[in-house]
């Protein structure tokens, strides 16, 4: 399939804010990332059209994506109308209009939004994921085989929303309190799973069919992390650059791993990718326990691909400059439509 003009679609409802110590912090201005993707594509000789998605301008958005001017849509939408749960709906819309687009199909985006379904599929296809159960009852009893410590997460959130120090629980009281918190704050069931105390890796996977490859593994370096806190990538650690926890969870890519572990990380990530029906690109979170077993925590079928995010870092470690990486995503999608 020949691609000359690419339409980049993205959410344009303003930057997110977060309050730390009574101070409001703005982060994640999508415009900058969009310009970088557009700049990369233009550098490679493509023409680009930017089509923002807003609730107010939704009619206009529909008109534009159907104007026939682009050969391929570069999908940077992470939801719609300020709701990340609509991420799958945008992909579904593109499918409905029979438009060609980069990234994952709506069904994969939808399934991955539910961490329980994701884990059921992984288990069903023989990929190890920590033992878990899903509940909306704070007075639960522990199913057989599960013991403390456990981690409690919202069933249907991502980007570490609802992941805090209190997410790791050691007693029935803490467990009940945390389930209650999830029910109230996130209007979501709680996913309770075995807490894997060990190294954490993210593996970026690209491609389709037998051309699917894993990029060099990235590891979260917890060595400077406060001893008294459970080692997790909480919301604060992941996003709030001014937080000390952010600085104490730097990603290291390529991760210092043996050839044997690298092979296992890559193979496990690709198995998880295929199990979820992933397409073009996705990121897989994993932990290695003290006995050397690898556990898949989750699959992210719409990971951040901006220049300073983990995926681009892994691509860089594989020898791809940013614009080459973005170009590769286009080539992968275009090839799939042939």
Ligand X SMILES: Nc1ncnc2c1ncn2[C@@H]1O[C@H](COP(=O)(O)OP(=O)(O)O)[C@@H](O)[C@H]1O
Query: Taking Cα atoms as reference points, which of 141, 131, 77 lies closest to residue 103?
Result: 77
Does 151 bind ligand X (CB under 6 A)? Our answer is yes
Does 233 bind ligand X (CB under 6 A)? Our answer is yes
Residue of 8, 9, 111, 196 that binds ligand X (CB under 6 A): 196
Does 159 bind ligand X (CB under 6 A)? Our answer is yes
Residue 307 neighbours by CB distance under 10 Å:
19
Query: Taking Cα atoms as reference points, which of 41, 30, 35, 34 lies closest to residue 323?
Result: 41
The distance from CA 157 to its chain's CA centroid, rounded to whole angstroms, is 11
Does 158 bind ligand X (CB under 6 A)? Our answer is yes
For residues 269 to 288, the per-residue mask of contacts with Mg ion, x marking binding by CB under 5 A and - elsewhere, is ----------------x---
Q: Is 27 left (phi over 0), alpha (psi -120 to 50) or beta?
A: beta
| Shortest spacing between CB 165 and ligand X, in angstroms | 11
Does 87 bind ligand X (CB under 6 A)? Our answer is no
For residues 272 to 291, the per-residue mask of contacts with ligand X, x marking binding by CB under 6 A and - elsewhere, is -------------x-x----
Query: Taking Cα atoms as reference points, which of 198, 273, 202, 263 lies closest to residue 238?
Result: 202
Does 236 bind Mg ion (CB under 5 A)? Our answer is no
Token reading at 268: 């496990």
Residue of 54, 106, 114, 160 that binds ligand X (CB under 6 A): 160
Token reading at 275: 């199990």
Cβ nearer to ligand X, comparing 94 with 155: 155
Q: CA–CA distance from 40 to each of 7, 45, 246, 321, 332 (Å)?
A: 13, 9, 28, 10, 16
CB burial readout 225-248, b (16+ within 10 A) else e = beeeebbbbbbbbbbbeebebbeb
Does 219 bind Mg ion (CB under 5 A)? Our answer is no
Cβ nearer to ligand X, comparing 11 with 249: 249
Q: What are phi and psi of 211, to 5 degrees?
A: -105, 20
For the chain, the maximum distance between any two Cα atoms, rounded to a whole number of angstroms, is 60
Restricting to residues 118-137, name those near ligand X by CB under 6 A.
Answer: 130
| Shortest spacing between CB 62 and ligand X, in angstroms | 30
Token reading at 46: 């493509």
Does 297 bind ligand X (CB under 6 A)? Our answer is yes
| Shortest spacing between CB 233 and ligand X, in angstroms | 4
Burial of 302 (0-12, 13-18, 19+ CB in 10 A): buried
Residue of 94, 99, 163, 275 that binds ligand X (CB under 6 A): 163
Cβ nearer to ligand X, comparing 280 with 285: 285
Cβ nearer to ligand X, comparing 46 with 295: 295
| Shortest spacing between CB 207 and ligand X, in angstroms | 22
Does 99 bind ligand X (CB under 6 A)? Our answer is no
Binding site for ligand X (CB under 6 A): 130, 151, 153, 158-160, 163, 193-196, 200, 232-233, 285, 287, 297-298
Binding site for Mg ion (CB under 5 A): 285
């Amino acid at each position: 399939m020949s691609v000359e003009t690419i339409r980049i679609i993205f959410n344009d409802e303003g930057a997110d804010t977060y309050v730390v110590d009574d101070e409001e912090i703005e982060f994640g201005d999508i415009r900058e990332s969009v310009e970088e993707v557009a700049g990369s594509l233009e550098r490679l000789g493509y023409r680009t059209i930017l089509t923002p998605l807003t609730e107010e301008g939704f009619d206009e958005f529909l008109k534009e994506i159907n104007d026939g001017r682009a050969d391929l849509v570069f999908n940077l939408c992470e939801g719609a109308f300020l709701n990340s749960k609509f991420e799958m709906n945008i992909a579904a819309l593109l499918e409905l209009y029979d438009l060609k687009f980069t990234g994952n199909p709506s069904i994969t985006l939808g399934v991955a939004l539910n961490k329980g379904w994701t884990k059921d599929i992984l288990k069903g296809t023989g990929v190890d994921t920590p033992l878990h159960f899903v509940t909306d009852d704070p007075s639960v009893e522990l199913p057989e085989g599960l013991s403390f410590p456990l981690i409690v997460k919202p069933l249907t959130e991502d980007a570490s929303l609802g992941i805090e120090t209190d997410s790791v629980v050691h007693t029935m009281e803490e467990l009940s309190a945390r389930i209650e918190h999830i029910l109230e704050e996130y209007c979501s069931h709680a996913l309770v799973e075995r807490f894997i105390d060990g190294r954490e890796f993210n593996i970026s996977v690209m491609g389709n069919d037998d051309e699917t490859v894993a990029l060099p593994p990235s590891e979260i370096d917890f060595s400077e992390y406060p001893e008294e806190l459970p080692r997790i990538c909480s919301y604060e650690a992941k996003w709030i650059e001014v937080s000390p926890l952010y600085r104490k969870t730097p990603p290291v890519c390529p991760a210092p791993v043996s050839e044997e572990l690298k092979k296992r990380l890559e193979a496990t990530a690709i198995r998880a990718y295929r199990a979820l029906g992933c397409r073009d690109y996705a990121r897989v979170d994993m932990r290695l326990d003290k006995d050397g077993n690898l556990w898949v925590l989750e699959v992210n079928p719409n990971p951040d691909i901006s220049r300073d995010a983990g995926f681009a870092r892994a691509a860089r470690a594989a020898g791809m400059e940013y614009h080459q990486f973005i170009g590769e995503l286009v080539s992968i999608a275009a090839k799939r439509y042939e």
